[in-house]
Amino acid sequence: MGRCVFRASGRNVKAKVWRVDPSEPDAKSIEEAASILRKGGVVAFPTETVYGLGAVYHMRDAVIRVFKVKRRPPDNPLILHISSFSQIYTLASEVPEAVHRLAEKFWPGPLTVVLPKTSRVPYEVTGGLEKVAVRMPAHNVALRLIEAVGDPIAAPSANLSGRPSPTTAQHVLADLGDEIDGVLDAGETLYGVESTVIDLTADPPVLLRPGAVPLEEVEKVLGKVCVPAFARGLGEAERALAPGTRYRHYSPRAQLVLVELKDYSDLSKLVDRVKRLVAENAGRGLRVGVLCTDETREHYSGLGAVVLSLGSRRDPFGIARRLYSSFREMDSLGVDVIVAEGVDERGLGLTIMNRMRKASTKRVVV
């Protein structure tokens, strides 16, 4: 892909956009974006999970701007992104052996570890906590940007707080285009959901947020990991211990009604309840959407609802990857209420259900 720099069009967008190849981004675009960051600017960039909104971690004013641009509560910590393992020693005062084992297995990749912070990490980054969240992204654009900056980059997802995380640069521009300095556009992200976050300051380790690395894979390295209710999307942590542990997240503008089964071996019960909810909301004069799976899609034809399939239940990776973009598509279609099917919590299903529960305005358990 050739280098292309332009000013995005749309709602008074001022952000510069660099279109880059995801595998081999051109050095000039990376350096231009890095230069903005080094001067205290904020730039969105792709990772393998979602697009992040970056600032140099030790530049307090830039970090505060990230919070303001996103309308993010100041106690909601940011993840620090590194390009080499040696950078972790600048950020964490203790690096236990478990980090080395996890890094060998998952880095670069969508796993974040929470460790005791050093004095060099500002409290603005950690939401006032004595802990810091760190990961090494598996995306050449992100890695080369961090390398060019010469420092770790603090970055939450590049969307307005509470909205679905962005999986394309277009999503970033729709939410933040008139308030950020630029975005590196490398196309759609791979996983479509955020990283898994593990707190290694606790014994046993605690899952703070399920993500693109299934819990079962982490436990193969660490052994038993504690899973609090908030990590399943059931309630909130008393304090924001990591991104996604407190406050409503990932939500479409439409109301989201999530229908769950205690046992997903019989999907007929799920279909029946979804149909009833569609009829009830349509009867109130609302435009209704259904987020379903390939296994059930045919059952919703003829209801007058907008029907989108997230994919097959046999492919949770695909469902997770399509989730946020499907939320945004429903909004673009003018839907008032989305009735969404739940999935089994095994593997990536835990991540999918965490995101759906966090996004929902109502849960129905059958």
In the annotated binding site for ATP, the residues are 72, 76, 157, 165, 209, 250
What are 169's two structure tokens?
């640069």
What are the distances in angstroms from CA 152 to CA 48, 56, 84, 120, 143?
17, 6, 9, 12, 10
Binding site as annotated, residues for L-threonine: 49, 81, 135, 155, 195
- Helix, strand, coil percentages (3-state) for the chain, rounded to 5, are 35, 20, 45
Rounded to whole angstroms, the Cα distance separating 55 from 37 reads 6
What are 98's two structure tokens?
């478990």
What are the distances in angstroms from CA 111 to CA 3, 207, 212, 218?
30, 11, 8, 9
What are the distances in angstroms from CA 204 to CA 51, 201, 207, 222?
31, 9, 10, 9
Rounded to whole angstroms, the Cα distance separating 196 from 219 reads 12
Binding site as annotated, residues: 49, 72, 76, 81, 135, 155, 157, 165, 195, 209, 250
What are the distances in angstroms from CA 102 to CA 51, 123, 219?
23, 26, 10
* Alpha-helix runs per DSSP H in 177-296: 215-222, 268-283
Grouping H, G, I as helix, E, B as strand and the rest as coil, residue 92 is: strand
Task: For residue 66, report the phi and psi dihedrals to the nearest 5 degrees.
Answer: -55, -45
Q: What is the DSSP string of 46-67?
A: E-SSSEEEEEETT-HHHHHHHH
Grouping H, G, I as helix, E, B as strand and the rest as coil, residue 117 is: strand
What are 185's two structure tokens?
């556009």
Q: What is the CA radius of gyration of the chain?
A: 20
Rounded to whole angstroms, the Cα distance separating 206 from 354 reads 15
